[in-house]
Chains A and B, each alone.
Chain A
Amino acid sequence: MKCRKCGKGAVLELRRHNTAFCAPDFLDFFRNQVREAIRRWRMFGPDEHVLVAVSGGKDSLALWDVLLEEGYRTTGLYLDLGIFDYSIESRAKCERFAADRGVALLVSRVAEEVGAPVPVIQRVTRRPPCSSCGLSKRYVINRVAHEHGFPVVATGHNLDDEAATLFGSVLHWQTEALARQSPALGSTHPKLVRRVKPLYRLSERETAAYAFLRRIDYIVEECPFAEGATSIAHKQVLDRMEAASPGAKHNFLFGYLDRARPAFERAEGVELRECVRCGQVTTGTLCAFCKLADQVKRAT
């Protein structure tokens, strides 16, 4: 198989684009896709300081790497979930990445923020682990970004993540979630920091290939709580569809963003206010994070 651009030996075939690239041309392709994502959705400008939420996995570290390569001013934020060896190793990967490149990394701990690490939260609240974990991540990332004055948070969500989320929302016709699904969510409240996903045009395999070719040391092992997660089941269904029809995921997500999302966007209208306890943004009186912390406090 030959690189479509230079004719040398290819290292990666991209069936959805009916093409293949050598390593240097694939890295160019990857950077171009990120540039296009940032440009098309006006994610951030060259002078804005971007907070990059990193987990130690391929997507977030690939994102941080490509933003640094592109010359953006960035700081990393790692949220220690307290998930046994998985968290110890993933934190070490983030710290090493930051140290090797001389960039700043902020670290927050769920155990301090909520009152217990994710495994304990899961046990005492009987909530699905991905639910309390996702809630904690959204809350802490936004609060840290706001407190430090970052204008924008970038996360490593890729095309597969976004397609799987869309698939789940459509399966249950979650119209509020459909309205919110976007590569860039503007700040709709003074305490809500803009949130962007510069990798949304790139598949999971493409981000993994970028991380490998850039020799990024990321955690390959899966989170022990991810087994059986609904989002993974959705990804597996979509992978089968993609194998039978290359480009299916791309068309599903991009078709939604281009043609269907505006209809759901118009239908949505929620009032945002501040939590009476912590002051962060919520749709109710007491925010879900404070409710979670209360639940953990009562049970521990």
Chain B
Amino acid sequence: MSVSDSLLQGVIDAVDATGKPTTKLTKEAEGLSARIVLRNPRREVEVRGNRRVKDILRELDIVPETVLVIRSDDLMTADQIVADGDTIELRPVMSGGSASRDRSTDEASDETGGRASRDGSRRRV
């Protein structure tokens, strides 16, 4: 397990009595100094600061194109430096689950052609 995996795992494992994720850092995270806020579910990790955005994303194994990097009210580009003491939000941009089917109002749900998969697409069985 990489450092980033253990960081994320430590956070994901931390839940309060109601089952909601809490901010509980693993030993690896203690003493590190830039705070990273992740979403869906919301949680936080700390990483070593004074590095470029792209280096932090790589450590966390996050594809840069899948997030907006937000500091205060500004977007950050991959080459910008995250300083010690900074709080950065990594906001996912992916939405989905919708079935994108058009034309008549009912195809893709008509079961005559096969079984619908989770996204509503039709799969032959």
Contact = CB atoms under 8 A, between A and B. Distances in A.
Interface string A220-239: 11110110111110011001
Interface stretch (B1-9, B10-18, B113-121): B113-121
A10 B39 CA distance: 24
B94 A180 contact: no
Contacts of A231: 96-100, 119
B21 to A, nearest CB: 13
Interface string A263-275: 0000000101000
B102 A180 contact: yes
Interface stretch (B23-31, B43-51, B104-112): B104-112
A281 B77 contact: no
Contacts of A162: 100
19 contacts: A10-B77, A20-B77, A23-B75, A129-B97, A130-B97, A130-B99, A133-B98, A135-B108, A165-B100, A182-B102, A192-B104, A204-B93, A213-B75, A222-B95, A226-B95, A242-B65, A270-B103, A281-B105, A282-B106
Contact of A208 (B64, B91, B98): B91
Interface of B: 39-40, 63-68, 70, 74-80, 91-110, 112, 116-124
B95 A58 contact: yes
A283 interface: yes
A161 B98 contact: yes
A205 interface: yes
A134 interface: yes
Given A177-B121, A205-B67, A222-B95, 18 more contacts: A11-B74, A128-B116, A131-B109, A134-B108, A135-B109, A138-B101, A172-B121, A174-B121, A177-B108, A192-B105, A203-B65, A212-B68, A220-B39, A226-B96, A229-B96, A230-B121, A231-B119, A281-B105
Nearest to B70: A212
Chain B interface, DSSP helix/strand/loop, else mixed: loop
Interface in A128-155: 128-135, 137-139, 142-143
Interface residues of A, number: 81
Residue among B39, B67, B95, B116 with the highest chain A CB neighbour number at 10 A:
B95
Contact of B65 (A15, A137, A157, A281): A15
Contacts of A235: 94, 96
Contact of A174 (B80, B95, B122): B122
A139 B106 contact: yes
Contacts of B98: 130, 133-134, 137, 161, 231
B67 to A, nearest CB: 8
B103 A188 contact: yes
A165 B97 CA distance: 11
The list of the 5 closest CB pairs from A to B, nearest first, reads A226-B97, A134-B99, A288-B106, A229-B97, A208-B93
A185 B123 CA distance: 23
A221 B77 CA distance: 23
A133 to B, nearest CB: 7
Contacts of A157: 100
